[in-house]
Structure 1
Amino acid sequence: MALVLSTGEAMGDALTRIAGYRALRIAFPAHRIVHVCRWSSSLLGPLASLAAELVDEIIEGQSLTRGPRPVRDIIRGVGNVEIVIDLRSNMGAAWSFVATAGIRLRYVANVALYGLRRGFRASFEARPESNSRRFHRAVELAAGRLLPFDPFVAVGGAAALAAERVMPEGARFVLLAPGTAHSPKAWPPANWVALARHLATRGVQPLFAVGPQELGERAWIERELPGTAVVDMRSVRGTGDLPWLFHALAARAVGSVTVEGGIGHLVATTGRPLVTISGATDLRRWRPVTPYHWSASARDFGSRRTEDVPLEAVVARAEEMITFADRTLSTISILPAASMKRLAG
């Protein structure tokens, strides 16, 4: 059995771990993969359709920060644990390292230099910059070999049909995901309006993606941009379908522009171009998994507030994205062979 420990798994966390989970499956095909987290996992919520591929069991609400004894009890409780990978880089990882003392298993934690290891050759190496690569590398260390890095998610058939009804084949559009104006990650509505109008002058239709917790945003979109397409809960039958409609639309789009968060990480798993607008978040660490990623970060302008990202910077990144997509993406396949096989299946 392979045990994965973490604080929790919001949507962005889970999506950045896809490649690592798949590598774990490849390296240890006979092992059950059990994810134990202190809080909750989105793999039991909006990403439930991915759970069966990635993990066999998820145990939420566990005490992982009160010393080694609770962690040792968890290890004994699930039984026959041979591999422990702790995704945390704080004191919690130290407790799990102590908890595994005297137990015959392989252990690695996502700490600096991967310095906490047990059961295999001890050495140190710098962690990759991004979280997605860090988890994947931890799995490689546990396996003792290099493994494929596949973070992509194929578009589901039902979602693809729904996306075609929203934007028919050949439509030239950019998906915009502003999030909620009440979030500290928000970029001002007036800037989104200006960006949408600029895209229209380029012959690119803006399409707004409004999540189930963001329904109030539709009012300013309709007021300031009458006739602009909006995808929200009105576009689907159930809440669980909405993220996958966004995902399918992103796969058809010229590209997407989103604030830093779960929707951005979700559309990145299509492998399509993405511009991320961020404030305090370090995008080197939380880089979305698409290879075609642009950033407009407040950090580049001496701030940690998303609202301080200049409109001109986002417009410039969007222009680069559109130009790149027009010149390049029509001639290459984005998804790797494994993901294309899943898509065909």
Structure 2
Amino acid sequence: MTVLVLRALGLGDALTGVAALRGVRRAWPGHRVVLAAPQPVGQWLAGHGVVDAVLPTRGLSQLPWPWAGPGGAQDAPGCLAVNLHGRGPESHRVLQATRPDALVAFANAEAGHVGPDWDETEHEVLRWCRLVRSVGGHCDPEDLRLGPADPPGGRGQESGPGEVIVHPGAAAEARRWPAARWAQVVAALAAQGHAVVLTGSEAERGLCARVRREADQGDAVRDASGRLGLQALADLVSAAPLLVSGDTGVAHLATAYGTPSVTLFGPTPPELWGPTIDLPRHAVVWHGERGAPPRDPNASRLDPALAQVPVDEVVAACESALTQLPATGSETTTPSWPDRPARAPGVPTPARYAPG
């Protein structure tokens, strides 16, 4: 049997779903777990053994199912489908169209599905763990880990000795701290004797070039933007003494590898998307109002909470992280998760899908 899991999202979303994906394996051991997701991220997770195969998917497009995977054998209709993408109804219907024997998903009346209730105030990692735990797949935030901070074989060829990573970009303007402020942080780190490497996508090469130029620290700052694949970026993060970034996908790599980090939050509170493990290693800087609803993380203007973050607070958080002291003055997430709930109605037990 195959367990088809939908999470057709980017790097940060994929990494926050790793714990739930491991719970899926525990709920149905010995079964083939296929992840419907963008090819690069999905294939990378398959390489880590989190899933068995990736069905290349962008957004909520119709899934080609039954599907002939890498081995050529076609998956039969009647798989078990798990929605780790959203609350529905669109994502529910994408999976319902594959004619699964059962759908594991949050309740959605419009899609005609009964399941656990969605909780707007729940941390992203805990939300998906709760869904999978409802069908017997034990998992918790500790399952986010992808490896030790110092990987076997040492640093990759893209990494220099002891480089602090600064990642100034983000997918949306709402989560992009001003380049001039990033330049001041980079200059302060370099002035303290730290080698700095700037990372970013191909589209962020101009931003990184500006940050490096305005920092004006010469060879103490290296620009690797636009030339790191996902594995090379992961290798760099796993071996770094510190990652400094906004609320974007690379921050979740630091969580996965236990790399100390300083993350700047804006529209989304860290209690919903911040680190949930190794809290002394991860400082978050946020000037939002606790308890207020999150704002649009994909807005086209700088979020007011992020705009209020001063350079000196970020530099101080970096200094604390580099000396392995808890940062002061920053908000931090407190992890908590409930005991395993009862199995959701209408979902087959793991025994129903046991081998043989």
| Fold in common (TM above 0.5) | yes
Q: What's the CA shift string for 1:285-321, capped at 9, x where partnerless?
A: 2224552322122425999343332223322322332
Q: Which protein, 1 or 2, shows the higher relative CO under an 8 Å CA cutoff with sep ≥ 6?
A: 2
Q: Which residue of 2 aligns with 1:337?
A: none
Inter-CA distance 61–97: structure 2 relative to 1 (3 Å threshold): closer
Which residue in the other structure is 1:92 paired with? 90
- 1:232-271 equivalent positions in 2, closer than 5 A: 232=224, 239-240=228-229, 243-271=230-258
In structure 2, stretches of 5+ residues that fail to align are 68-74, 293-301, 328-356
Query: 1:131 is matched with which residue: 109, 115, 124?
Result: 124
Q: Is the 8 A contact 1:86 1:96 kept in 2?
A: no
Query: Could you say what the CA RMSD is over the residues aligned between the two structures, in angstroms?
Result: 4.1
Match of 1:222 in 2: 213
Give, in whole Å, the separation in 1 of the partners of 2:171 and 2:95.
41
8 Å contact kept, 1:34–1:59: no
Q: Aligned-pair distance for 1:13?
A: 0.8
Instruction: Tell me: CA distance 1:245–1:93, structure 2 relative to 1, closer, same or farther (3 Å).
Output: closer
- Preserved CA contact (<8 Å) 2:241 2:260: yes
In the aligned structure 2, how far is the partner of 1:50 from the partner of 1:156? 16
How many angstroms does 1:219 deviate by?
4.1
> How far off is 1:142 after superposition?
1.5
**Preserved CA contact (<8 Å) 1:20 1:149:** no
- Report the TM-score when normalising by structure 2: 0.67
CA contact (8 A) 2:23 2:137 kept: no
Structure 2 matches for 1:300-319, cutoff 5 A? 300=289, 304-305=303-304, 306-319=306-319
Alpha-carbon shift at residue 138 of structure 1 (Å): 1.6
The residue that corresponds to 1:335 in the other structure is none
Which residue does the alignment assign to 1:2?
A: 3
- The match for 2:272 is 285
1:272 aligns with 2:259: yes
Give the C-alpha shift of residue 147 in structure 1.
6.4
Q: What is residue 20 of structure 1 aligned with on the other side? A: 20
Unaligned runs of 5+ in 1: 65-69, 328-345
Q: Are 1:107 and 2:76 counterparts?
A: no
> What do residues 310-345 of structure 1 show as CA deviations (whole Å, max 9, x unaligned)?
223322322332333599xxxxxxxxxxxxxxxxxx
* Alignment partner of 1:54 is 2:68: no
**CA contact 1:185–1:279 (8 Å) conserved in 2:** yes
Task: For residue 104 of structure 2, give the secondary structure of its aligned residue in structure 1.
Answer: strand
The residue type paired with residue 156 of structure 2 is L
| AA partner of residue 258 (structure 2) | G
- In structure 2, the CA distance between the partners of 1:17 and 1:272, relative to structure 1 (3 Å rule), is same
Contact map agreement 2:4 2:79 (CA 8 A) in 1:
yes
Report the CA distance between 1:14 and its aligned residue.
0.8
AA of the residue aligned to 2:104: Y
Q: Name whichever of 125-134 and 214-223 sits farther off.
A: 125-134
CA spacing shift, 1:324–1:212, aligned 2, 3 Å: same
Task: Give the count of matched residue pairs.
Answer: 298
- Which residue number corresponds to residue 201 of structure 2? 211
Question: Could you tell me which amino acid in structure 2 is paired with residue 152 of structure 1?
Answer: R
Decide whether the 8 Å contact of 1:151 with 1:289 is kept in 2. Answer: no
Are the equivalent residues in 1 in contact too, given 2:242–2:259 (CA < 8 A)?
A: yes
Determine which structure has the larger helix proportion and give its number: 1
CA distance in 1, matches of 2:172, 2:97: 41
CA distance in 2, matches of 1:210, 1:126: 33
Where 1:160 maps in the other structure, the secondary structure is coil
* SS of residue paired to 2:202: coil
Aligned CA distance change for structure 1 residues 138 and 280 (closer, same or farther; 3 Å): same
Q: For the structure 1 residues 189 and 30, does the alpha-carbon distance in structure 2 shift closer, same or farther, using more than 3 Å as the test?
A: same
Deviation at residue 258 of structure 1 after TM alignment: 0.3
In 2, the alpha carbon distance for the partners of 1:110 and 1:149 equals 26
How far residue 274 of structure 1 moved from its aligned partner, in angstroms, is 1.2
How many angstroms does 1:257 deviate by?
0.9
What secondary structure sits across from 2:283 in the alignment? strand
For the structure 1 residues 105 and 210, does the alpha-carbon distance in structure 2 shift closer, same or farther, using more than 3 Å as the test? closer
Corresponding position of 1:31: 31
